[in-house]
Structure 1
Amino acid sequence: MRLKQLAAAAAAVGCLAATACSTATTSADPTSGAAEAGYPVTITNCGKEYTYTQAPSRVVVMNGGSVAEVSSLLALGLGDKIVANAQSYGASEVPGRADAIAKLPTGDIKLNDMMDIPREAMIGLAPDLVISTYDGGFRAEAGFATREDLATIGANTYSPESTCGDVGTVSGNPSIEDSYRLLRDLGKIFGVSEKAEQIIADSKAKIGDLRSTVSKLPRKKAMLIIPGMAMGSEFSSVGAKAIWNDIMAKAGVDNIFAGASDQMFANPSREQVAKADVELLVVVNYMSKDPAADAKKLFDEFPQWDASRNKSYVVLSDSIYLGPSNDVAVDKIAHVAHPDAL
């Protein structure tokens, strides 16, 4: 992968792991058919209000390295609304999801150096909704169609509220609730709030059952690493502040490097990694040919870890990020961390 692509991918992990805190309000005119379906709907996004008089039917999903947005659309049964999708992660804990994403239309777009959709191509798709992983997807200086450009052709725009600021920054304390907010926003935009609330309820119930068990057990210490994302130093992709901390916490696990940085990645030295009390290794599969081999390599390098002695590791992909399947990650981590109790 070229340097620009790696840089974009590293920023994108922030978008995947960041919060999504948009708020939504609904209003209805009982004299119209649209009102009976819950429209118009107004969404506040990045400080501006966007009104939908009907469900979008020509949706373009920008890349940014995320699959949170396209996965949420698929989970809500909205794949047929997508006319062009640039998001792809190549792996998923949810059976069939990676294949479903791969089968979505791409609009036959030639992507730019950031592996995303440039302005002219975006305008040519004639979308009525453009979803970007981060607000930078609407920056004119990066060659993208701006929110104003898209409004001119009748398209609404949306990105997670927490990524309205600088790319790569992490605001607040990212949590699974942010994934629920994303689902709720999309549910309201497309008139499928009941479906969104059912996904959320199922997720909360599953996580609640797990927490009731693991909360009685000693907490395990973990290190999260994304081997395929490393740039520069060997441990530049060790996880620090992101949604994965809440996911691990609900599985009865503490991220050793959670407080090492206020950014997504801790970038510890080899000596710090060697001294860390790692009882569980969380390997995030990003463009890796063999995540299990990635884990084995680390175990061989650091045989002093309890995780190395017990071969205790879990491989995750999209469920560890913002999106509709955080409960899957909680479940998988909990079962590896507490095998005798679950």
Structure 2
Amino acid sequence: MKRLPLSLAVSLYAGSAFAQTTIQSCDREVTFEAPPKAAVSNDVNLTEMMLVLGLRDRMVGYTGISGWKTLDEEMRDGIAELPELSAKYPTREVLIGADADFYFAGWNYGMKVGGEVTPETLAPFGINVYELSESCIHIGDKLKVSMEDMYRDLLNLGRIFAVEDTAYDLVAAYKLELDRIRSAIGDVDRPLKVFVYDSGEDKPFTAGRYAMPTALIEAAGGINVLDDFEKSWSTVDWETVVDKNPEVIVIVNYGTVTAEQKRDFMRNNPALAGIDAVRNDRFVTLEYVEATPGPRNIKAIRKLADAFWGE
């Protein structure tokens, strides 16, 4: 039998494999004729999903990292050869100017409902969008957040970029590590009550039922005291936090206000002095990239489990 040249065979295989590959993205179905070649990701956690799948060579840049001061040394090495196209949310012109053919973002992770950068506004310019699963609550109903949201995104990216095996292996490894953590924790008679403090002094910005920390806390043997708060990331009043009386406070570290400053604010606020977590000085810090959906979620669960139950 006559054999095709290897390069031609690979090309034909890649083309046939991607005919009408359809991915569910929030409430939309997105069809890809071929893997993207000029992708842009927004925010540090979404960019890390791209990097952990080995997709740096398929990217023309990233957005929304330095403006929020979320870049650390580990991440800096990963994106060393990529340009940051916008310090915060990109404009439509930025993405078009980069000749992007794919934008990995989410609602309030690079896109705003009714904003100038949405799947609908980018489609006429040949830019497909895949939306972060956690963020879908901003445009419709979704199930409570879970680790499956993060796994789904990795597996969908694997299909989109034809790196399914890499994605499946990563997700399998994450699930195995999570099983080990849960086994080490053992049976929990009563989950610890946990509050997530992101930012804000007049009113705290926190994680509700649909934000990733809720899933991380549950996996570590706790419960978000705002599990009944039908929001993703949003504000509440301090009276609600006092009434919930959390036993542990998770601080999200990023931006110009440090985790230590956030702790000091809570420790020195007389209105919060009676909260069990403050009274017993039980704080644990998660970096922004750990608290949002992405490859560092498993590390975050281990950190929380150690803080909740001891190593």
| Shorter-chain TM band | 0.7 to 0.9
What residue is the counterpart of 1:251 in the other structure?
Answer: 220
Q: Tell me if structure 2 keeps the 8 A contact 1:299–1:305.
A: no
Q: Tell me if structure 1 keeps the 8 A contact 2:217–2:304.
A: yes
In the TM superposition, residue 177 of structure 1 has moved relative to its aligned partner by 0.5
Q: 2:191 aligns with which of 214, 219, 225?
A: 219
Cα distance change, pair 337–193 in 1 and its aligned pair in 2 (3 A): same
Which is worse superposed, 205-214 or 264-273? 264-273
The unaligned stretches of length 5 or more in structure 2 are 1-8
- The 5 A counterparts of 1:193-232 are 193-217=164-188, 218-227=190-199, 230=200
In the TM superposition, residue 256 of structure 1 has moved relative to its aligned partner by 1.4
Please state if 1:185 is matched with 2:166: no
What residue is the counterpart of 1:124 in the other structure?
Answer: 97
Cα distance change, pair 100–32 in 1 and its aligned pair in 2 (3 A): closer
In the TM superposition, residue 173 of structure 1 has moved relative to its aligned partner by 0.6
Provide TM-score, normalisation by structure 2: 0.81
Cα distance change, pair 76–267 in 1 and its aligned pair in 2 (3 A): same
Q: 1:106 aligns with which of 79, 84, 88?
A: 84
Which is worse superposed, 319-328 or 180-189? 319-328
Please state if 1:331 is matched with 2:311: no
What residue is the counterpart of 1:10 in the other structure?
Answer: none
What residue is the counterpart of 1:297 in the other structure?
Answer: 265
Please state if 1:134 is matched with 2:114: no
Deviations 1:27-80 (A, max 9, x none): xx99923157x4333323342331232x3221122x4xx433211001111122
What residue is the counterpart of 1:52 in the other structure?
Answer: 33
Percent identical: 24
Cα distance change, pair 49–192 in 1 and its aligned pair in 2 (3 A): same
Please state if 1:97 is matched with 2:75: yes
The unaligned stretches of length 5 or more in structure 1 are 1-28
Q: 1:308 aligns with which of 278, 295, 301?
A: 278
Cα distance change, pair 194–103 in 1 and its aligned pair in 2 (3 A): same
In 2: Cα distance, 1:122 partner to 1:31 partner: 27
Cα distance change, pair 265–194 in 1 and its aligned pair in 2 (3 A): closer
In the TM superposition, residue 294 of structure 1 has moved relative to its aligned partner by 1.4
Q: Tell me if structure 2 keeps the 8 A contact 1:281–1:295.
A: no
What residue is the counterpart of 1:22 in the other structure?
Answer: none
Which is worse superposed, 208-217 or 244-253? 208-217
Q: 2:231 aligns with which of 263, 280, 283?
A: 263
In 2: Cα distance, 1:290 partner to 1:135 partner: 22
Q: Helix, strand or coil for the counterpart of 1:73?
A: helix
In the TM superposition, residue 248 of structure 1 has moved relative to its aligned partner by 0.4
Structure (1/2) with the larger strand percentage: 2
Q: Helix, strand or coil for the counterpart of 1:122?
A: helix
Q: Helix, strand or coil for the counterpart of 1:238?
A: strand
In 2: Cα distance, 1:307 partner to 1:164 partner: 32
Q: Tell me if structure 2 keeps the 8 A contact 1:73–1:79.
A: yes
Cα distance change, pair 122–279 in 1 and its aligned pair in 2 (3 A): same
Provide TM-score, normalisation by structure 1: 0.74
Q: Tell me if structure 1 keeps the 8 A contact 2:107–2:113.
A: no
Q: Tell me if structure 1 keeps the 8 A contact 2:205–2:236.
A: no
* CA root-mean-square deviation: 3.2
Q: Tell me if structure 2 keeps the 8 A contact 1:292–1:315.
A: no
In 1: Cα distance, 2:174 partner to 2:285 partner: 20
Q: Tell me if structure 2 keeps the 8 A contact 1:300–1:308.
A: no
Q: Helix, strand or coil for the counterpart of 2:205?
A: coil
Cα distance change, pair 30–288 in 1 and its aligned pair in 2 (3 A): closer
In the TM superposition, residue 309 of structure 1 has moved relative to its aligned partner by 4.0
In the TM superposition, residue 234 of structure 1 has moved relative to its aligned partner by 2.3
- Number of residue pairs the alignment of both structures matches: 294
In the TM superposition, residue 264 of structure 1 has moved relative to its aligned partner by 2.6
Letter in 1 for 2:183: S
In 2: Cα distance, 1:148 partner to 1:142 partner: 10
Letter in 1 for 2:12: S
In 2: Cα distance, 1:285 partner to 1:263 partner: 21
Deviations 1:11-35 (A, max 9, x none): xxxxxxxxxxxxxxxxxx9992315
In the TM superposition, residue 254 of structure 1 has moved relative to its aligned partner by 1.2
What residue is the counterpart of 2:14 in the other structure?
Answer: 34
In 1: Cα distance, 2:290 partner to 2:262 partner: 19
Q: Helix, strand or coil for the counterpart of 2:172?
A: helix
Q: Tell me if structure 2 keeps the 8 A contact 1:170–1:262.
A: no
Q: Helix, strand or coil for the counterpart of 2:106?
A: coil
Q: Tell me if structure 1 keeps the 8 A contact 2:104–2:131.
A: yes
